Amino acid sequence: MIRFILVLTLGVVLSEISFSQSVDTPKQEYCNTCFRGKPRPNCCSFIILESGLMFDVARGGYPQDKEGFVFTADFGLMFNNKSSKAFGGTIHLAADDDGTRFGIGPRYRIWLGPKTAIDLSPRIMFGGSDNSVRRKFPGFSFSASYSLSELLSFDTYFQIIPYEMTNYQYAPPGPVIPQIVKDTETGLYLGISGRSYLAPVVPLALAIIIAATFDFNWGS
């Protein structure tokens, strides 16, 4: 999986370099709202549209048999100022094998150049759906990312999510005894996100990986 992601990343970077060298983009005399973010004077504001896949680095308090990944998605709007900074906010969605959760928060961007930037995004998580656990809200998540050409970003992701779940203890020949477990899941993750035009690429790549690694039984 890691090799696939590295190959995908290299392909995107090389294609962007090739495209930039072959197309002479005229300089705009005014700024507007852009789908693919750029600093001033190209964009006064820009849309945030991204999705990513994060893999765990360090976790604590999580339920047994929980997988070590988080799928994330963000949608929002940011505004450039005149000092290579941008401010705005996003709606955030996160999902794993225990269900989904959503939240909202501000976003701060530092433009390092015309095609590179660092984003900082704290969020309050205030709702979601449950699978094997019952999450307690509010929770918290924070991400920091380094983006290339507003097409691809390398992300760190941290979350704090309280939850409770019911375990059942079997003591034959006695009755089944339910036990309520309350804990707080914390996790630090690293991953890659697709942005703007490449926002659908990461979940699509995940589907391809799952399909390619699925153990099909074609019969004898």
pLDDT one digit per residue (tens) for the chain, 220 residues: 443 333 344 444 444 434 443 334 445 456 789 999 999 989 999 999 999 989 999 999 988 778 888 999 999 999 999 889 999 999 999 999 888 999 999 999 999 999 999 999 999 999 998 887 888 899 999 999 999 999 999 999 999 999 998 877 776 776 777 778 889 999 999 999 999 999 988 767 766 776 676 554 444 4
pLDDT per residue as tens digits for the range 148-187: 999 999 999 999 999 998 877 776 776 777 778 889 999 9
Total domain count, the chain = 1
Considering the domain boundaries, does residue 2 fall inside one? no
Handedness of CA 102, 107, 112, 114 (dihedral sign): positive
Asked if 205 contacts 52 with a C-beta cutoff of 8 angstroms, the reply is: no
Taking the C-alpha atoms of residue 72 and residue 118, their distance in angstroms, rounded to an integer, is: 18
Handedness of CA 64, 188, 96, 129 (dihedral sign): positive
Considering the domain boundaries, does residue 173 fall inside one? yes
Considering the domain boundaries, does residue 68 fall inside one? yes
Considering the domain boundaries, does residue 8 fall inside one? no
Domain that holds residue 140: 40-213
Query: What is the distance in angstroms between the CA of the first residue and the CA of the last residue of the chain?
Result: 29
Considering the domain boundaries, does residue 219 fall inside one? no
Considering the domain boundaries, does residue 4 fall inside one? no
Can you read off the two tokens belonging to residue 208? 């391809």
Considering the domain boundaries, does residue 52 fall inside one? yes
Taking the C-alpha atoms of residue 168 and residue 164, their distance in angstroms, rounded to an integer, is: 13
- Cβ-Cβ contacts under 8 Å for 200 (sequence gap 6 or more): 51, 194
Strands 134-135 and 116-130: unpaired
Please tell me the total number of residues recorded for the chain in this structure.
220
pLDDT recorded at residue 205: 78
Considering the domain boundaries, does residue 3 fall inside one? no
* Chain centroid to CA 17: 25
Residue located via tokens 């477990």: 181
Q: Supply the CATH number for residue 130's domain.
A: 2.40.160
